[in-house]
Amino acid sequence: MSMIHSCRVAAILSLALLAVPAFTQARPGGNVLDRLESGLWELRGTGGAGLGSICLGDRYILTQPKHRAAACARDVVASDPRSVTVRYSCPGIGFGRTMIRFETPRLVQIDSQGVDRGAPFAVRAEARRTGGC
């Protein structure tokens, strides 16, 4: 095996090994959303403005605070024990990127931004479980 070929193989293997942790982090499931309790959740924006309540079954709906009623495709782009970042796209409506920071199974902080019907949006909110549905 030539020295150049050996260097190329080593470089490819190094890149593959670097990609493994990133792929593992980006897998859906096993993130902070899975630790949240189902039930009725209230969303409050910064400054205390009410953003409404939702009956939380599909926890990923918290990643779409501006597009809650839309059927959207979602990808987990980063995840660690305290937070998850999700990119989503809602055909014909808009898209966004949301980071959810875990406080407790009944409290999270939401930071979302994107485009809704052609206009940019930014939402910072607290979501808190308030009871059963």
> Distance between CA atoms of 44 and 42, rounded to whole angstroms?
7
Pick from 80, 84, 109, 82: which is nearest to 97 by CA? 84
pTM: 0.74
Edge-to-edge strand ranges of the sheet holding 83-90: 50-56, 39-45, 119-131, 107-116, 94-104, 83-90, 73-80
pLDDT under 70 in the chain at which residues?
Answer: 1-29
Among 62, 70, 66, which Cα is nearest to 108's? 62
For residue range 58-79, list pLDDT tens digits in order.
999 999 988 888 889 999 999 9
- Which pLDDT score is estimated for 49? 77
Q: What is the pLDDT of residue 21?
A: 33
